[in-house]
Amino acid sequence: MSIEQEITCWGLIGASTIASQHMINAIRSQSGHDVLAVMSSSQDRADKYAQEHNVKHAYSSVSDLLSNPKIQAVYISTTNELHYEQVMAAAAAGKHILCEKPLALNLDDAKAMLTSCKDAGVVMATNHHLRNAATHRKIKELVQAGEIGKPLFARVFHAVYLPPNLQGWRLNKPKAGGGVILDITVHDVDVLRFILGAEPVEAIAMGHNADLASQGLEDGVMAVLRFDNGMLVQLHDAFTVKHAGTGIEIHGDAGSLIGRNVMSQQPVGEVILRNEAGEKEIKIEHEDLYVYGVAAFCAAMRGEGMPSCTAEDGVTSLAAALAVSEACQTGSSVIIESPLV
């Protein structure tokens, strides 16, 4: 029996940086899983990427990759405007799908993706990584255990500097779903929903442009969201700030949880519980966020449990990010309707 028959084979749709830096390793870290193919819009780039990452097949069309019967799962990490058509095609081909955020550029497309995957009987998940971090999982556990009493406010500090190698479509291609809101705010919303077990219902926001982004795209934003448990949440996201540091704070009527350096792709950061008794650093056993997420996805493919971040989670985070975007454009508060009702 060949290796390809013994293992669960994945295809990469998109010769991306995130696949190269995190996801190929995350897939190959799972016992019995490997990356068999990569697809790029350029055959030359696909060939080079395949060679660099020891991937057997390199394609320049999605349909060719999906026609490979050995491929059971795809990881989609193209630019954001392509996710919709690629998920629809992969679902029609019966492949399980791990798709990057934002799932799509509008809610109708995102909901159609979810429905198609359900109809096709394939697992679909969203690759929001932060909820996989040991830091955020610990914060959720402590909030839910009542360690800070009733949660009242949260603040997210996610203003960073976009690395020069990523200063492309995010900054100058509105049609590709560029801009800080679809890139970073959408992650904030997901991790807040995860920690708080509550849903965003209203957004106000102002966009910022420090001349890194162009074409009307924001490279910074400050927003306030109201959640359905009454909490107010403040978000600060940017591509333009080099030294702010990242964090999340959840403030309750009996204590506060402070996560420092936790809005990260790396398994890093610290969590502090502050209350009447003083300050205590919480022990964290860090794990690779992407390995953790792909492990849950692989289990879901085997029929064991759910992905750590479902397609429904991806639709909901998108709804809130689009509301923040609309609030920036209109200057008005925007009600976030539950997109899945």
Scan residues 49-88 and list those touching ligand NDP (CB under 6 A). Answer: 77-80
Scan residues 247-286 and list those touching ligand NDP (CB under 6 A). Answer: 265
Read off the tokens for 90: 């992969």
104 or 122, CB closer to ligand NDP?
Answer: 104
Scan residues 199-258 and list those touching ligand NDP (CB under 6 A). Answer: none
78 or 246, CB closer to ligand NDP?
Answer: 78
Contact segment (CB under 6 A) with ligand NDP among 37-45, 143-151, 189-197, 267-275 equals: 37-45
- Minimum CB separation from ligand NDP for residue 11, in Å? 12
- Minimum CB separation from ligand NDP for residue 176, in Å? 9
Give the CA distances from residue 2 to residues 35, 36, 73, 301, 302, in Å, rounded to whole numbers and listed in that order: 15, 13, 18, 21, 21
Distance between CA atoms of 39 and 130, rounded to whole angstroms?
26
Distance between CA atoms of 159 and 208, rounded to whole angstroms?
12
Scan residues 94-113 and list those touching ligand NDP (CB under 6 A). Answer: 100-101
Q: Is 18 in the site for ligand NDP (CB under 6 A)?
A: yes
Contact segment (CB under 6 A) with ligand NDP among 15-23, 148-156, 189-197, 277-285 equals: 15-23
Contact segment (CB under 6 A) with ligand NDP among 16-24, 25-33, 280-288, 298-306 equals: 16-24
Closest by alpha carbon to 250, among 166, 146, 108?
A: 146
42 or 144, CB closer to ligand NDP?
Answer: 42
Contact segment (CB under 6 A) with ligand NDP among 34-42, 137-145, 205-213, 233-241 equals: 34-42
Scan residues 120-179 and list those touching ligand NDP (CB under 6 A). Answer: 127, 129, 166, 168
Question: Interface residues with ligand NDP (CB under 6 A)?
Answer: 14-18, 40-42, 45, 77-80, 100-101, 127, 129, 166, 168, 183, 265
